Chain A
Amino acid sequence: MVLIIGGVWQGKLDFAKETFGITDADVFICTNGEIDFSKRCIYSVEEFALYHPDPIGYFEAHRERWQNSIVILRDMSCGVVPLSPEERIWRQKTGRLAQYLSREAQRVSRIFCGLEQRLK
């Protein structure tokens, strides 16, 4: 699995398309607590983390299905602790999921202004 992280609007998906030769048809965009692992690229995993009560448990349960995936997750770890409990929990779940995925990944790339910084 390849993990691509970075702030919003940094070009994470463009990087994945250019680097791994994928098209929109290969991309699953998360909008709720379910992921279609049949698509090669899983995008906006932070949105999945927002809706699923146990994101790491879900990934654990489907472990064999994402071993060759490209997983894209937005870094939202900075800034002031959000006032609303929903956003606070969302940020925590996303951060923990990022750590888990990063441990599991063969490669971790951070995208900064469209440029890759290889973290692993």
Chain B
Amino acid sequence: MTFFISGGAKSGKSSLAQDLAVALANGGKHYYVATMISTGFEDDERIRRHIADREGMGFETVECFTDIMACLKTADRKGTFLVDSVTALMQNAMFPAEKNYEMDLAAAQRCADRLVEFAGAVKHAVFVSDYIYADARRYSESTEAYRKALADADRRLAKRCDTVVEVSAGQHFVHKGELPL
């Protein structure tokens, strides 16, 4: 089963995704795919908080920063994967640190392709993304290109996944499929 979860910042997406992954694993192997490259204190704090949240839930952590398929080199594809987040993977792929954060549209496309491929390659997956599409700001060209690339990945995953859920203030709206919780 595959799940796609999105919503605003601090809406409860990660909590839902964690509970869902544990339920899907049903005692079997479940992986937390760590996607965030820390850029400083704030990120360290966020990562620390997420690790504390997951404590005692039995997750194995696999690090993966751009190509999601790469984590299958070490992880068992018959397991359950929590990918949190699509947003971070896309950012890492599209603005690679090793290329001085210069925009790479081909890499963004590849990142989305690999996510969709991953959804078909593993037993259970829960993808978390961020809904960053409903404000009135005029963004810079590269930021707008990023929003479009992330939206494309979101839409392809939403199409591919069995269940699509929008989270708002901890409440869930199921756009497609069923939420087995």
Interface residues of A (CB under 8 A from B): 6-11, 75-80, 82, 87, 90-91, 94, 112-115, 117
Q: Decide: A9 and B136 in contact? CB cutoff 8 A.
A: no
Answer yes or no: B84 CB below 8 A from chain A CBs.
no
Contacts of B158 in A (CB 8 A): 112-115
Which residues in A have their C-beta under 8 angstroms from that of B148?
9
Tell me the bound Cα distance from A11 to B151 in angstroms: 9
Of B13-21, B87-95, B111-119, B127-135, the stretch lying at the interface with chain A is B127-135
Q: Is the CB of A87 within 8 A of B151?
A: no
1/0 contact trace for B144-155 toward A, CB 8 Å? 000110011011
Q: Which residues of the partner chain B approach A6 to less than 8 Å between Cβ atoms? A: 133-134
Q: Which B residues touch A117, using CB under 8 A?
A: 173, 175
Query: Contact between B138 and A115 (Cβ–Cβ < 8 Å)?
Result: no
Cα A75 to Cα B4 in complex, Å, equals 21
- Indicate the member of B134, B137, B164 with the most A CB atoms within 10 Å: B134
* B6 contacts A113, C-beta separation under 8 Å: yes
- Interface: B8 (CB within 8 A): yes
Q: Is the CB of B136 within 8 A of A90?
A: yes
Is B166 among interface residues, defined by CB-CB distance under 8 A? yes
State the majority secondary structure of interface residues on B.
mixed
Give B155's nearest chain A residue, CB to CB.
A114
Which of B136, B137, B147, B159 meets A114, CB within 8 Å? B159
- Chain A contacts for B77, CB-based, 8 A: none
Q: For the complex, what is the distance from the CA of A9 to the CA of B6, rounded to whole Å?
A: 15
The residue from B133, B136, B159, B173 contacting A10, defined by CB atoms under 8 A apart: B133
* Other-chain residue from B151, B164, B166 in contact with A9 (beta carbon distance below 8 A): B151
CB closest chain-B residue, reference A92: B136
Cross-chain pairs A/B with CB under 8 angstroms, 18 sampled: A8-B134, A8-B151, A9-B148, A76-B134, A77-B134, A77-B136, A78-B8, A78-B135, A80-B135, A87-B136, A112-B6, A112-B131, A112-B158, A112-B164, A113-B154, A114-B159, A115-B176, A117-B173
Given contacts A7-B131, A8-B151, contact A87 B137 (CB under 8 A): yes
> What's the nearest-Cβ distance from chain A to residue B36, in Å?
22
Note all chain A residues with C-beta closer than 8 A to B164.
Answer: 112-113, 115
Question: Least Cβ distance of A17 to chain B in Å?
Answer: 14
Q: How far is the CB of A3 from chain B (nearest CB, A)?
A: 16
- In whole angstroms, how far apart are the Cα atoms of A94 and B159 in the complex? 29
Residue picked from B152, B154, B173, most chain A C-beta under 10 Å: B154
Q: Which residues of A contact B151 (CB under 8 A)?
A: 8-10, 113
